[in-house]
Amino acid sequence: MHTKENSAASDGMHSGKKYRVVIAGGGTAGWVAAAALSKKLGALVDITLVESEAIGTVGVGEATIPPMRVFHQLLGIDEREFMRATSATFKLGIEFENWGQQGERYIHAFGKNGRESWLAEFHHFWLRGLERGIDTGIGDYCLELQAAEQGRFGIGPNSNINYAYHLDAGLYAKFLRSFSEKLGVQRVEGKIAGVEQDKDSGHIEALRLESGQCIAGDLFIDCTGFRGLLIEQTLHSGYEDWSHWLPCDSAVALQTESTGAMAPYTRSMARESGWQWRIPLQHRTGNGLVYCSGHLSDDDARAQLLENLAGKPLTDPRLIRFRTGRRRKAWHKNCIALGLASGFIEPLESTSIHLVITGVTRLLQNFPVDGISPATVDYYNRETRAELEKIRDFIVLHYHLTRRNDSAFWRYCADMEIPQTLRERMDLFRESGRAYQAEGELFRVDSWVQVMIGQGLMPRSHHPLPNMMSDRELQGFLAGLRENIQRAVAQLPAHEAFVRDYCPMARAGSGMEAGAAESLAK
C-alpha cells in the first residue's frame, strides 16, 4: 500500500512534493535531529517525530563539549535562553582523579597549552624547561585549566575562553521540541508496534503504531536508543563490539541536591572497577557510576555510588546497561541511526551529544533529496566510522594509560591489547614528544598532551627548536605566559556568581521552574 508513495526513497522526489522524514524516538537525539532538519531544510521536508511518553530515555548525557556552541549558532539558538531553560552551567573541562595512580589528579581542559610555534607545539618548550629546572605543570599554561582550578568563569565581547555546558538532558529535549514544533515538526505520541518494508528493496515504508496509525516516510531516522528498532531489529545492520577495549558495560545514575559552589568542570573519579561522574547544574547535581559488571555487582555498584555522594539523593539509583561499539552501517537503505542507536562510546569525555550533532550535520551535508545514492551512503558510513574510531582511541587511552594495580579491573586495562592506531600514537609521543590531531579528528593536540602527561606518559625527548633559546630567554618566555594567564583569570568572576547573573534558571512561584521540578520527580 505504501510502495508507490515511497518510491522517492530510491528514485528521487516527485515534483512539488516535500521529502518525508520520520524520526523514530525522541529524547536528545530525536529532537536534535528534528531541530537541525527543520531549521536548515524546512522548506524541503516534512518532519514527523514519533515518541511515547511511556518509554523512558537514558537522559544522562548532561555534559557537553565546545562544538555544541557552533551547532547552536547555526540554529540561531540564544545562549541565555537555552541555559535558563536547561538549568545549565558552564564547563571548562574534566577533572580526572585517581586515573593514573591513586591520589593523583589532573584536568583535561578545553583551552590551548601555551603558545606554539610553526615547527613545534608548546609542550616541547615546556619539556625543555623541565630539563633546565623550570619545574611547572603543563596546566600552568592553559587559561581554561587555571580558571577551572580557581572556580572562575566569564565571557564578554573580548573573551576568547573556550567552554561548553552542563545541562539537564530532559529539559534540553523539551527545549528543542518547542524549537522544532515552532518550525513545523509534527510530534506523534505512540509506541511503534511494527515496521513496514518494501518487499523488493527492503527499504522502510512506514512505522505502524499500536493505535493502528501508520506513519509513512521517505527517510527514517532511528533514535530508539540501544535497541536500534529500525537500524538493527528491522534492517540488521550488524554491530562491531568494542568491549575488549572498553570493558565497562553498566552504569547506575541518580540526582542529588547541590552542595557548595558549582564548579565549572565535570568531575571523573576512578573507582575500583570503573569511574564516577559528578556534574553540577543550577538546580541539582548529576551523579553516576560507570563500571564493569564482570568485576563489580550491581548491588555493590549502587552501594559504592551512594557512599560517595556529596549531597542528599533526590532520586533512586537507576541501572543502565550498554555495550560499547558501533553499528557496522550507520546509514543502511533509507534509515540513518543517531545517538545510542548508532553505537555507544562511554561518556568519559562527554561526546554523546556531540556525536548526534555531527551525525545530523553529516546528513544535512549529504541529504538525499534527489534519491539515495550508494556513493553517498558509503561516504556517510566511512566518515562516521573514522570519527568514532578516533574518539574510541582517545577514550581507551584513559583506561590503558594507568599505573594502578590495586584491582583486577585496572590490571586488565593496563595489560590489554589496544588498537594499533593508539599504540602508534602513544609510542610516537613517548619517543619524541610528537602529538598530532589527525584530519577530521575531534580532540586537539592539547587534549592528547594533557591526558598523556596527566596520566604519567612523559616523552624521552622533544623537538630541538627550544634548545636554540638561552636559559634566560626560555625562563622569560614561560614566566610571561604564566603571568598573563594568572592576570586574565584574576579578572574573571566566580563561576556561580556569573551564572546567577547571566542565565539564572527560570523560577516559578514554587521556587523552581516547572520543567525542572518534573525532571526531579522522575
pLDDT of residue 39: 97
Higher pLDDT, residue 260 or 92: 92
pLDDT of 518 strictly over 90: no
pLDDT of residue 16: 63
**With bands split at pLDDT 50, 70 and 90, how would you rate the model's confidence at 10?**
very low
Task: Write down the pTM of the prediction.
Answer: 0.92
Q: Tell me which residue of 352, 345, 227 sits closest to 279, measured CA to CA.
A: 352
Q: Which domains does the chain have, with CATH numbers?
A: 5-62+168-241+324-372 (3.50.50.60), 250-320 (no CATH)
pLDDT of residue 516: 31
What Å distances lie between residue 395 and 75, 97, 223, 345, 449, CA to CA? 29, 15, 23, 8, 14
Q: Tell me which residue of 382, 326, 388 sits closest to 355, measured CA to CA.
A: 388
pLDDT in tens, 96-128: 999 999 999 999 999 999 998 889 999 999 999
Cα(221)–Cα(50) distance, integer angstroms: 10
Cα(313)–Cα(306) distance, integer angstroms: 8
pLDDT of residue 507: 60
Mean of the pLDDT values across residues 391-408? 97
**With bands split at pLDDT 50, 70 and 90, how would you rate the model's confidence at 515?**
very low
pLDDT in tens, 129-156: 999 999 999 999 999 999 999 999 999 8
Secondary structure in 3-state letters for 271-304: ECCEEEEEEECCCCEEEEEEECCCCCCHHHHHHH
Q: Tell me which residue of 223, 206, 226, 224 sits closest to 215, measured CA to CA.
A: 206
Q: Which three cell numbers stand for residue 479?
A: 614566566
91 is catalytic: yes
Percentage of the residues of the chain whose pLDDT score is greater than 90: 89
pLDDT of residue 506: 72
To which H or E segment does residue 193 belong? strand 192-197
pLDDT in tens, 428-467: 999 999 999 999 899 999 999 999 999 999 999 999 999 9
pLDDT in tens, 479-489: 999 999 999 99
What Å distances lie between residue 399 and 10, 156, 445, CA to CA? 44, 37, 19
pLDDT of residue 61: 63
Cα(252)–Cα(458) distance, integer angstroms: 34
pLDDT of residue 521: 27
**Catalytic site residue from 4, 39, 40, 91:** 91
Percentage of the residues of the chain whose pLDDT score is greater than 70: 93
pLDDT of residue 513: 33
Please state at what angle helix 79-86 crosses helix 495-502, rounded to 10 degrees: 110
pLDDT of 59 strictly over 60: no
